[in-house]
Amino acid sequence: MSAKASLRQQFRARRLALLPQAQPAIEAQARKHCPALVPPGRHLGLYWPLAGEVDLGALQALLPHQLALPAITAAPGDPAARLVYRPWRSGQALVPDGCGIPAPAGVPGAGELAPEQLGLLLVPALACDAAGIRLGYGGGWYDRLRATPGWAQVPALAVLPRGCRVERLPRDPWDAPLQGWLDEDGPVWIGAGLGC
């Protein structure tokens, strides 16, 4: 088993154990800080929470016309598969994307938001280190998206309990660091870039 695969198992269990206590505090911090971090006219890139992930659905009431959800456009392994963001409003029907995760319906190339239409991405994470390297599920979807110049400019925060933050994670050449994280203490930005 690779080092990252072993860490995924370890942090999946840790996050699951921490979530019941961490969920309310992280949700409160998101409600307090995120609306001010999304400029008018831009979207907040949220995510549909899978089991064991922090659920930030409460932001729907605060930013009802500024939310977007990610969607994988085709099945993994299909060369056309990529992660895109589509606008989403509470109550809008969702359909399984290429990975089976609920996402706004869309035709590839239509209804997709450009990077300049997003003000902040919140990205679920199993772990995150001090340099912004995120441990996810291993699909590489967010890394490939953020490797493109436009998407690299959109601020992105890992969402996770503080007990899943570490000093250093293994890093591959394709890992695209995030600008910080959101946990029970609120948003933490790496470096002097953005303020809270």
pLDDT per position in the chain (196 positions), as tens?
Answer: 688 999 999 999 999 999 999 999 999 999 999 999 999 999 999 999 999 999 999 999 999 999 999 999 999 989 989 999 999 998 888 999 999 999 998 766 668 999 999 999 999 999 999 999 999 999 999 999 999 999 999 999 999 999 999 999 999 999 999 999 999 999 999 974 444 3
| 88: in domain | yes
How many domains does the chain contain in total?
A: 1
| 193: in domain | no
In angstroms, the Cα distances linking 2 to 5, 8, 170, 175 are 5, 10, 10, 16
**pTM (two decimals):** 0.93
| 170: in domain | yes
Residue 100 Ramachandran class (φ > 0 left, ψ -120 to 50 alpha, else beta): left
**Can you tell me whether residue 76 is helix, strand or coil?**
coil
| 192: in domain | no
| 32: in domain | yes
Reading the block at residue 95, the tokens are: 């359909």
| 20: in domain | yes
User: Containing domain of residue 79, as a range?
Assistant: 3-187
CA–CA dist 18, 164 (Å, integer): 9
| 195: in domain | no
CA torsion sign for 92, 114, 101, 182 is negative
In this structure, what CATH number is given to the domain that contains residue 104? 3.40.50.10420
Residue located via tokens 């359909």: 95
Residues 6+ apart with CB under 8 A from 193: 155, 179
Residue 146 Ramachandran class (φ > 0 left, ψ -120 to 50 alpha, else beta): alpha
